[in-house]
Structure 1
Amino acid sequence: MPEIDPFFRLAVALAIGLMVGIERGWQSREAEDGARAAGLRTFGLSGLLGGISGALTTQLGPQIVGIAFLAFTAAFGAFSWLEARTKGTASATSMIAGMLTFLLGAMATVGDITVAIAAAVSMTVLLALRLQLHSWLAAITWVEIRAGLILMVMSFLLLPLLPNRAIDPWGAVNLREVWLLAIMLALISFAGYVAVRLFGDRLGIIVAAAAGGLASSTAATLTFARLAREQPGTVNLLVGGILISGAVMPLRVAAIASMLNPALLRPLVVPLATGSVMLGAIAGLFVFGMHGKPADHPAPRLAIANPLVVGTSLALSCIIVGVMLAAEFMRQVWGDAGVLAVAALSGIADVDAITLSMARMDMTVPLATQAILLAVAVNTTSKATMAAWVGGLAVGLRVGLASAAALTAAGAAYFWLG
């Protein structure tokens, strides 16, 4: 078996080059023969050249790889320059891909073959996603890029400076932990924000509503309700969108709470999933059973603020601190009833702060579960009220009845578990 190993490694080096060459050759498939610097055969040979250079290190020393790499880079660069001069365009992508193919071929023979294959696959995927990556980049605004950069700077520079200990007399608030929670929630919400920005207008109401629920189900509810008032003929469709966004919210709550405190997964997942499924099923009736295909109607534009704005994250951190202090103070004064009162009040506007607080505070699992479920129930009722206020009686009745059915199902599931 050992004598076969060098052949296998060289075969992997050749395969790496061929894989990259297929992608590069396909991208330039319309070019005439001799009009491109490198294609399938060239990249295949580049990987094999790197592999042979690596294999020769046992006889000629490690410097052979460096010498061969410099010679390869010079030759490849010269032909790339001639191609760019002929076409009147310039791109370093193929040049860098060729250099990396050579090095990965060498790595396949003298290094970790699994890492070499993984790196080659990653490179090929990046090369193949050229148009998609450019379109995604074009869709991002400078404000969003700047917010992300500032947030990263604050996270990596400020986070080590924050005290990793409780700062209040009750031992409830750890600033470093609060900041980490705020960053995590902002990133989760940012995924929904990006989905709305990129796909909301293209894939229709279902994707827009689901992404809106991931980012902010309250914002999605207000947006759909307003559109339902303006477009009475699409009430059922837009009510379906409200219910879809509402169905995503409990799943997000369960995911966040269980990631922070795995003990909360079992008591939360069944009632929250039951309510979510009920809302999703009723939403399906509104979207498909009562109003045709969602693609027949224009997708809404969801007005969701960028959650990676630094001010938003700081405000969220302050809210989390406030909820933690209020919950601990109320528990000290009125016991469990005080914590549930804070959860109910917090749930009127938002469920994230109370979810994060309950998942991280030092309290029993049953109490944390009750507080989170109460906040979700109050928030669901609050959004039904908002839908009626903004969208009118027709929207409010539909959303209210569906929400009542979901809360009843979730409550039954919770008491059944208990």
Structure 2
Amino acid sequence: MEEIELFRRLGLALAIGLLFGLERGWQARDEAEGTRIAGLRTFALTGLLGGICAWLGTATGPVFLGLAFLGLAALVAVTYWAQLRADDDLGLTTEVAMLLAFVLGAAAVLGDMAAAAASAVVATALLSLKRILHGWVAQIRRFELAALVQLAVISVVILPVLPRQGFGPGQALNPHDLWWAVVIVAGLSFLGYGAMRVAGAGLGAVITGLLGGLASSTSTTLALARLVRDDARLAPLLSVGIVLAGAVTFLRVMVVATIFAPGLLGALALPLGTMAATGIAGAGLLALSAGRQKKTPTGLDELSNPLALGTALSFGIVLVVVILGTHYLRQWFGESGVYAAAAVSGLTDVDALTISVAQLSRGDLSSQAASGAIVLAVAVNTTVKGAMALVVGGRDLGLRVLAVYAAALAAGALTLALRP
């Protein structure tokens, strides 16, 4: 290794230690001098020590680096034991961070510098986010944690062993693709659900709408409409959240379709993108008309956990029914049957139809017909949500939402009509 390269790598090892030490020193800034296990200088020296030991290990063999790490670990263990006797502090964060600084310092010399630097930045971010991360953990409900574990097991353990071949009529049912669809949709849903649970709906209708669109735009519409039914003064503000949830759904459908059939992106980008842009613009106008109203939604208990095992399995069953129904309708009526399936499916669930049509488009269904069916399902589903806002939330809320939805659907229809 050339001298300049060695100095660069040792400099990175020192910088990694300084980064760790800066964060740990700031966290312990109120403690008296001499009472801290490690601060800025100690961490900087630890990172540099890891780099130097790695450099020496290239000449003496890997055993030297291993012994150096064990020696540092023993020193850290003794220090931790002494601290434990003094103040009963069971925290191991600083001690683990010191060992990590040594390892990343060594990695900076022996391995990829970019990977070592990135790992150090991520580790420092985790160290600095202690209160936020603990706050998130405190808000997790037991059934939500259980649902996450269940999904991890059935996706990471079961998904890889499912057969990747078609079964049933026309070999339309592929177990691996079916369960992968459940994982994708449930994961997108839980992303919005979890963010809303952590952030809280009290941040306002805008955040509620954006995150609710990922979780479930239908559930979000129903939840916000019920709030308006209890307090009609919330209609101008909560109409913004409902419309934003619908706009996010347009983008969500495009993402889901593209995952299962990347070739559909070109056909769906313009109509669904235009509909989403129209919805966002309409939400902006509704927000301006809402003025300075500050009351925000607080009760969104109607949103169910989308990763509950029963919910995931229910979606899988719906997906199987929609795939079979679309297969038979297309077999009997051609492309008209696909459109009929889209119109019916849009009354309840648009994700299942999107995945079913996306799979067909990988065969002999044209991208134009597939994108038209998906947009039709989205249009029917959007109309249902607008009607729900009108019936549940009342005339003021319903007319605001329906006006924007009508503009979005008209924009989508226009783009479909004008495309080559």
TM-score (norm. length: structure 2)? 0.95
Q: Aligned pair 1:370/2:368, yes or no? A: no
What does residue 352 of structure 1 align with? 351
In the alignment, the residues of structure 2 paired with residue 343 and residue 182 of structure 1 have an alpha-carbon distance, to the nearest angstrom, of 19
Q: Aligned pair 1:247/2:247, yes or no? A: yes
CA distance 1:357–1:25, shift in 2 (3 Å) = same
Q: Any conservation in 2 of the 1:172–1:328 contact (CA below 8 Å)?
A: yes
Q: SS where residue 170 of structure 1 aligns?
A: helix
In the alignment, the residues of structure 1 paired with residue 279 and residue 6 of structure 2 have an alpha-carbon distance, to the nearest angstrom, of 59
Q: Aligned pair 1:399/2:401, yes or no? A: yes
What does residue 2 of structure 1 align with? 2
Q: Any conservation in 2 of the 1:35–1:83 contact (CA below 8 Å)?
A: no
What does residue 201 of structure 1 align with? 201
In the alignment, the residues of structure 2 paired with residue 224 and residue 404 of structure 1 have an alpha-carbon distance, to the nearest angstrom, of 20
Provide, for residues 158-210 of structure 1, a one-character-per-residue CA deviation record: whole Å limited to 9, x for no partner: 32443321111312111111110111110000001112211233421110111
Letter of the structure 1 residue corresponding to residue 169 of structure 2: P
Letter of the structure 2 residue corresponding to residue 341 of structure 1: A
Q: CA RMSD in A?
A: 1.6
Structure 1 position 16, deviation (Å): 1.0
In the alignment, the residues of structure 2 paired with residue 382 and residue 110 of structure 1 have an alpha-carbon distance, to the nearest angstrom, of 60
**Mean CA deviation greater in 186-195 or 88-97:** 88-97
Provide, for residues 303-324 of structure 1, a one-character-per-residue CA deviation record: whole Å limited to 9, x for no partner: 2111111111111111111111
Letter of the structure 2 residue corresponding to residue 28 of structure 1: A
Q: Any conservation in 2 of the 1:208–1:300 contact (CA below 8 Å)?
A: no
What does residue 267 of structure 1 align with? 267
Q: SS where residue 169 of structure 2 aligns?
A: coil
What does residue 413 of structure 1 align with? 415
In the alignment, the residues of structure 2 paired with residue 397 and residue 218 of structure 1 have an alpha-carbon distance, to the nearest angstrom, of 17
**Mean CA deviation greater in 135-144 or 275-284:** 275-284
What does residue 118 of structure 2 align with? 118
Letter of the structure 2 residue corresponding to residue 192 of structure 1: G
Provide, for residues 232-261 of structure 1, a one-character-per-residue CA deviation record: whole Å limited to 9, x for no partner: 112111122211111111111111112221
Q: Aligned pair 1:21/2:21, yes or no? A: yes
Map residues 140-219 of structure 1 onto 2, 5 A cutoff. Answer: 140-219=140-219
CA distance 1:202–1:227, shift in 2 (3 Å) = closer
* Residue identity (%): 43
In the alignment, the residues of structure 1 paired with residue 164 and residue 284 of structure 2 have an alpha-carbon distance, to the nearest angstrom, of 47
Q: Any conservation in 1 of the 2:205–2:297 contact (CA below 8 Å)?
A: yes
Q: Any conservation in 2 of the 1:136–1:198 contact (CA below 8 Å)?
A: yes
CA distance 1:279–1:83, shift in 2 (3 Å) = same
In the alignment, the residues of structure 1 paired with residue 20 and residue 166 of structure 2 have an alpha-carbon distance, to the nearest angstrom, of 53
What does residue 331 of structure 2 align with? 332
Q: Aligned pair 1:342/2:344, yes or no? A: no
CA distance 1:130–1:251, shift in 2 (3 Å) = same
CA distance 1:111–1:345, shift in 2 (3 Å) = same
CA distance 1:340–1:10, shift in 2 (3 Å) = same
Q: Any conservation in 2 of the 1:343–1:374 contact (CA below 8 Å)?
A: yes
In the alignment, the residues of structure 2 paired with residue 213 and residue 58 of structure 1 have an alpha-carbon distance, to the nearest angstrom, of 54
Letter of the structure 1 residue corresponding to residue 411 of structure 2: A
Structure 1 position 151, deviation (Å): 1.9
Structure 1 position 67, deviation (Å): 2.1
In the alignment, the residues of structure 1 paired with residue 405 and residue 49 of structure 2 have an alpha-carbon distance, to the nearest angstrom, of 65
Structure 1 position 333, deviation (Å): 0.8
Structure 1 position 84, deviation (Å): 3.4
Structure 1 position 331, deviation (Å): 0.8
Q: Any conservation in 1 of the 2:221–2:385 contact (CA below 8 Å)?
A: yes
In the alignment, the residues of structure 2 paired with residue 63 and residue 298 of structure 1 have an alpha-carbon distance, to the nearest angstrom, of 62
Provide, for residues 64-100 of structure 1, a one-character-per-residue CA deviation record: whole Å limited to 9, x for no partner: 2122222222222222332333333111111111111
**Mean CA deviation greater in 322-331 or 144-153:** 144-153
Letter of the structure 1 residue corresponding to residue 123 of structure 2: M
Q: Any conservation in 2 of the 1:189–1:216 contact (CA below 8 Å)?
A: yes
Q: Any conservation in 1 of the 2:227–2:299 contact (CA below 8 Å)?
A: no
Identify the match of residue 299 of structure 2 among 301, 304, 320.
301
The count of corresponding residues between Structure 1 and Structure 2 is: 416
In the alignment, the residues of structure 2 paired with residue 388 and residue 214 of structure 1 have an alpha-carbon distance, to the nearest angstrom, of 22
| Structure 1 gap ranges (5+) | none
Q: Any conservation in 1 of the 2:279–2:408 contact (CA below 8 Å)?
A: yes
Q: Any conservation in 2 of the 1:104–1:120 contact (CA below 8 Å)?
A: yes
Letter of the structure 2 residue corresponding to residue 416 of structure 1: L
| Structure 2 gap ranges (5+) | none
Letter of the structure 2 residue corresponding to residue 366 of structure 1: Q
Q: Any conservation in 2 of the 1:200–1:299 contact (CA below 8 Å)?
A: no
In the alignment, the residues of structure 2 paired with residue 275 and residue 110 of structure 1 have an alpha-carbon distance, to the nearest angstrom, of 52
In the alignment, the residues of structure 2 paired with residue 380 and residue 58 of structure 1 have an alpha-carbon distance, to the nearest angstrom, of 64
In the alignment, the residues of structure 2 paired with residue 276 and residue 58 of structure 1 have an alpha-carbon distance, to the nearest angstrom, of 57
Structure 1 position 409, deviation (Å): 1.4
In the alignment, the residues of structure 2 paired with residue 374 and residue 298 of structure 1 have an alpha-carbon distance, to the nearest angstrom, of 33
Structure 1 position 3, deviation (Å): 2.2
Letter of the structure 2 residue corresponding to residue 263 of structure 1: G
Map residues 62-141 of structure 1 onto 2, 5 A cutoff. Answer: 62-141=62-141
What does residue 45 of structure 2 align with? 45
Letter of the structure 1 residue corresponding to residue 322 of structure 2: V
What does residue 33 of structure 2 align with? 33
CA distance 1:106–1:163, shift in 2 (3 Å) = closer
TM-score (norm. length: structure 1)? 0.95
Letter of the structure 2 residue corresponding to residue 301 of structure 1: G
Structure 1 position 38, deviation (Å): 0.4
Q: Aligned pair 1:382/2:381, yes or no? A: no
Q: Any conservation in 2 of the 1:49–1:105 contact (CA below 8 Å)?
A: yes
In the alignment, the residues of structure 2 paired with residue 221 and residue 111 of structure 1 have an alpha-carbon distance, to the nearest angstrom, of 51
